[in-house]
Amino acid sequence: MPGPLTVWVEMRVRLRKKHPCGSDVWTVTRTGADIGLVCDGCGRRIMLDREEFERRVREVISSAPEAGSA
């Protein structure tokens, strides 16, 4: 995915590698220097630094939140 990625809480992404539980969909729980993610399949929580996160994302599933909405 070229260019800097906009990341927001509750953003849903598909990662390049499947989690051992079989899901490849994750939801962002925290943004900043490190990105917090929770697996949609099993609820496992992980933290990735932003660079690692951007490398692993294959597809953004949810659309960006409306400007102005909290």
List contacts with Zn ion (CB under 5 A).
19, 21, 23, 39, 41-42, 44
What secondary structure does DSSP assign to 31-68, as a single string? -SSEEEEEETTT--EEEEEHHHHHHHEEEE-SPPPPTT
Q: Report how far residue 3's alpha carbon sits from residue 32's, in angstroms, rounded to the nearest whole number.
A: 17
Q: Smallest distance, Å, CB 57 to Zn ion? A: 16
| Least distance from Zn ion to the Cβ atom of residue 68, Å | 33
Select 7 or 38, whichever has its Cβ closest to Zn ion. Answer: 38
Q: Which of 7, 46 has the CB closer to Zn ion?
A: 46
